[in-house]
Each structure stands twice: as structure tokens, then as C-alpha cells.
Chains A and B, each alone.
Chain A
Amino acid sequence: MEKSKNHVEVETRGQFLSFSQIRRWPEFGVILAFLVLLTIFSIFSSNFLTLRNITGILTIVSELGIVAIGVAFLMIAGEFDLSVSSVYAFSGFLFVTLANKYNSPLAFIITLAIAAFIGFCNGIITLRARIPSFIATLGMMLFLRGSLLAVTGGESVSYSSDAIMPTLLTRFIGYGFRPSHIWFLALTLIFSIILTNTRYGNWVFATGGNREVARAMGVNTNKVKVTNFMLSALMASLSGCIVISRFNLANASFGTGMELEAIASAVIGGTFLTGGYGTIIGVFFGAFLMGMMRTGLVMIGAPAYWYQTFVGAILIIAATINLKLRHLEM
């Protein structure tokens, strides 16, 4: 009697698990969407699957994707960073200014250090003032952007320094490929390994999944959060330096709205808005999907305005699917 009852329990659980197994491949949905869009665009535009177009997409995707990886890594730890777009523009400006005065490697290092400090401030403000990071970083976003506009008066600054960092970051290396593509791929791999294969990654999941449990189990959740805020700012800063090196020009309005594109990439890639779950590979494809849509829609003849419409629709669908799967899981 007892035995048969156990058996039934296992059986019902078996059915339940089929959803659970999909859930543990959260890249599944985004890769599927990626392939569908790729097919559609390739059919409707003969120029879509050309090396030139692919590398062009990759350039945009890399710059967005690097920011999105940082944002997602922090989101998994349970916090938002809306200030990335401002950090991105601020870093670009600082990099150009410092490089014109000194040299580009020094400018790059100082820029990253200051960005890390901004991330540190985001973390400390969120944790000490106990306000939601959404608000704390929204404040930081407006504060930085406003300062930048005020100081520069909206004027652009041209890059007129050595070629060291631009070469390392974004100058063509053949067949349309750029170092930024390699940076993006490498950072995807590194962050993916950190998240799934290190102790720190386990603490990030736990901090976002249930902060109280994580703390009770001896995880220093504040340290994890501050570290991730810093990483998020660092990634945004790196991306800012890349984009400025590509344009040879810094403008205070660069990257406006990018924070939402980064969050959208993360959510489309399967990251939970509520924290505790997500994958970097998913974010990689999420960012790719965004970049592909931007180019693809233009290439199949749709006006560029439709880009946001499609991103909005896909974002809602992705978030809904995430939530449904989560409820099945619970």
C-alpha cells in the first residue's frame, strides 16, 4: 500500500518535471526566437546573411551586450542598475578628455576605476539607505546625465590621442570583425563560468533567490551586491570606451535609453526580474536578438520606428513566459 502510493507520487512528479527541465534550459526560448527571426530576416532580405551585415550587427550587439551582461549579473543578485546608460556616456566622455590630455591606456584605467567607484556608490546607497536599487540607480542615472549635459553644454568632444586603446577595443581586425566582438564573447564566457561554476556564482544566485537564507548560510550578501553593482558599472564603462573609440567622438546624449535595452536583453534571455535566476548565455542571445531586430527590420523594408514596437512586444511575451514557467516550477 505504502509502496504503491510512493510510486504514484513519483509518477506525478515525473510529469511535473518536464516543465522543470525546460526551465533549467532558460536559453531554450531565446535561442528559438533567435533562430525564428534569423530565418524570417534571411528569407525576406537576401542581404541579411552576409558577412558584412553580420559583423555590422555584431558591432552593435557587442556594445549593448557587454552592458547587458553586467546588468543581468546584478539582476540575478536581486538588484537593478538603471544608471548604466549614464555611466556609459560619462565614461566615454571622461575617456576622451583624459586621453586627449595624457594617453589612452591611462585614460582607460582611470575611467574604469571611477566607474567602479560609481558602482560602489550605487551599492552603498541602495544598502545603507535601504531604498530600492531601482530608485537609487534612477537617481544616479539622472544625476550623472544631468551633470554631463551641464558640464559639456551639449557640445561633442573629438578623440585626438594615440591609437593604443582604440586598436585594442574596436579598430577593424579584418573581414569586418572588431576587437569588441572578441571582448563580448570573452566576457560572456567568463561571466558564464563565474555564475555557474564558482562559489561566488552560487552566492550570487542565493543572494538574489532568497537573501535571508543566503545570509543565514553564511553568505555575505551585502558584499555580493556591492561587487555586482561595481561589475555592472565597469561593464557599462568598458562599453562606453568602446563606442567612443569607434566614433572618435563623445557626446553627452550617448546611450540614452540603453539601460532599458540592457534590462530587456536580460529578461528576453531568461533572467528573472525578481532575481535568483538567469544565465549569461541567455543574455548573449537576448542582446543578439535586439541587435538583429534593429538591422533586420530596416533591411526587410520596415521603417526603423517599428524596432521599439517589436522589442516591446517580445519583452512582454518573454516576461510572461518566464513568469508562467516559474509558477509551474513552484
Chain B
Amino acid sequence: MQEVTSLAKMVDIEKNFRAVQALKKVNLEIQPGEILGLLGDNGAGKSTLIKVLAGVFPPDGGKIFFEGEQVSFSSPKVARAMGIETVHQALSLVDIMSISRNFFLGREPTRRIGPIHLLDKKKMNEECEKTVTGLGVRVRSPNEFVSILSGGERQAISIGRAMHFKVKLLILDEPLAALSVRETREVLRQVEKARESGVSVIFITHNVYHVYPVAERFVMLDRGIKIGEVYKKDASPEDIIEIIATGKMSKTLKT
């Protein structure tokens, strides 16, 4: 019934906010170990689409398949438990909490003392420090507040956290917004490393030059409609910009 090859498949997804139709029968499919660029102008419905996939909003219509099974996520927690994790520039870490508390937020390890379950702080700090150091982020201790970190370091830790918890589908929502050139390169390297370890990545951006170097396929949205889908070998960044700007696929790209 379903192709076994696709990791996640969204079929005819619809989502309305009151009178506004945010998504109109959108289809999206992602293969294992693939980096997909999800592009579109502001308000195109990119974030809404992936929020449906990540369990933040229930869809008003359509079906979602994950690893061949039809699923319906009632909350982000359920989606996360299945291996779908979103990394968002502003929505991944709590500023006024320590790095290790952030790292394990929602998945805190505990140890038992009689009937009481207490946080296993030692394990939290050790594992967090190991992962964070492995990512090349230099911090004095995992007890430091996230607020002292740069944008690139936060992004690195968010992605590293997803990898630590064995994510299968990593959704990056505008991961390069407000990052320096060097940080951008670091994050892109991390994304490729994630792909190499078999993780599928959906990379959302409105800037095609951010995603073009790493993705192999691109999906374009405009006002809630999927307006195009191209492989990298078939289109240049300029072709993709043209599709987003005009809202339709040019004849030469249609196959």
C-alpha cells in the first residue's frame, strides 16, 4: 500500500486557521537519509506544514505516514518519541536554564532512591558535556546558562541534542537566520554529518542559497499550495527563486 522506501509521507494535508486556509492539499514525501529543502516566501505555509508533521497542530484533512504506518500525532511529545524532532532558531532552548537542563528537557534521566525518582544530574552533566564538547562548543561547564551562547552554538547544541536522542527525521526551521558566515558553515557541516549517519533532514528556509549546497531535492510552497518540486540536478538556485517569485513552475522544468 505504502512505499516502504519513504520515511515520512504527508498526503493531501489541509489546515485552516479560522477563515484562512493555511494549507491546501499539500503532499510531501521524504526518503531515508535525504536532505529536503522546503522553500517559500514568508507566509507560504512552510512552518505550518512542518508543525503538522511535528505534532504541534493536528491537520484538518489528509493523512500522515511515518515508516510506512499511518500516524496521528496528538502532541509534539508523541512525534518526538517516534523520532521526529524540530530545531528552531528561537524555540529550541530556554535562555535562563542551564545547558544540561535544556539538553535533557522532557527526557530527563532519573535515578531511584526508594520510591522517589530524582534527576540523575551526574549523568545529565556528563552526557551533555561529552556531546557538547564533541560538537566543538567550548563551555566551562554544562551548568552554564544557555543565554551566554552564540546563535551558532545554540543551533549546534539543538542539532546535537536531536542526534543524541537518535532522531530519524530532523526538521530545521530557518536554522541559519542571524548566523555569521562561519557559524553557517559549521551548521551546514553538522547537517551533512547528520545525513551521513542516516538521518533524514527537512531544511526550511526562504533563502535558497542557504539550502542549495546541502539538499538534493527542493519543494516550494506558496500561500498554502505546493507550487513545485525539483531535484538539484534539474534546477539552478536562480530557477528555484524564479519559481518562488512567480508562483509557478516554468515549462522547461516540468517533466
- The contact sample of 21 A-B pairs, CB cut-off 8 A, is A13-B148, A17-B140, A20-B145, A24-B143, A197-B119, A198-B118, A199-B108, A205-B96, A205-B101, A206-B105, A210-B91, A210-B94, A210-B95, A213-B93, A214-B105, A216-B92, A217-B92, A218-B106, A272-B96, A329-B96, A329-B145
Binds A, one of B3-11, B17-25, B73-81, B231-239: B73-81
* Chain B residues with CB under 8 A of A220: 75, 77
In the complex, are the beta carbons of A199 and B117 less than 8 A apart? yes
Q: A10-B138, A209-B95, A329-B148 are in contact. Are A199 and B110 (CB under 8 A)?
A: yes
In the complex, are the beta carbons of B119 and A202 less than 8 A apart? yes
**Residue B147 is within 8 A (CB to CB) of chain A in the complex:** yes
Q: A216-B56, A216-B76, A219-B106 are in contact. Are A206 and B94 (CB under 8 A)?
A: yes
Which residues in window 55-80 of B have CB below 8 A to A? 56, 75-77, 80
Chain A: CB-nearest residue to B86: A216
**Residue A155 is within 8 A (CB to CB) of chain B in the complex:** no
In the complex, are the beta carbons of B94 and A216 less than 8 A apart? no
In the complex, are the beta carbons of A218 and B77 less than 8 A apart? yes
Which residues in window 262-291 of A have CB below 8 A to B? 272, 276-277
* Chain A residues with CB under 8 A of B118: 193, 197-198
**Residue A4 is within 8 A (CB to CB) of chain B in the complex:** no
In the complex, are the beta carbons of B121 and A197 less than 8 A apart? yes
Mark each residue of chain A from 211 to 230: 1 if its CB lies under 8 Å from any CB of chain B, else 0.
01111111110000000000
* Chain A residues with CB under 8 A of B75: 218, 220
B92: min CB distance to chain A, Å: 6
4 A-B pairs besides A217-B92, A277-B96 with CB distance below 8 A are: A202-B101, A209-B97, A216-B86, A276-B94
A270: min CB distance to chain B, Å: 12
- Which A residues are closer than 8 A to B by beta carbons? 6, 9-10, 13-14, 16-17, 20, 23-24, 193, 197-199, 201-203, 205-206, 209-210, 212-220, 272, 276-277, 326, 329-330
* Chain B residues with CB under 8 A of A9: 138
In the complex, are the beta carbons of A198 and B95 less than 8 A apart? no
B148: min CB distance to chain A, Å: 7
**Residue B88 is within 8 A (CB to CB) of chain A in the complex:** yes
Picked from B56, B94, B119, the residue with its CB within 8 Å of the CB of A213 is: B94
In the complex, are the beta carbons of A205 and B97 less than 8 A apart? yes
Mark each residue of chain B from 101 to 132: 1 if its CB lies under 8 Å from any CB of chain A, else 0.
10011111010000001110100000000000
B14: min CB distance to chain A, Å: 23
B183: min CB distance to chain A, Å: 13
| Bound Cα distance A98, B41 (Å) | 65
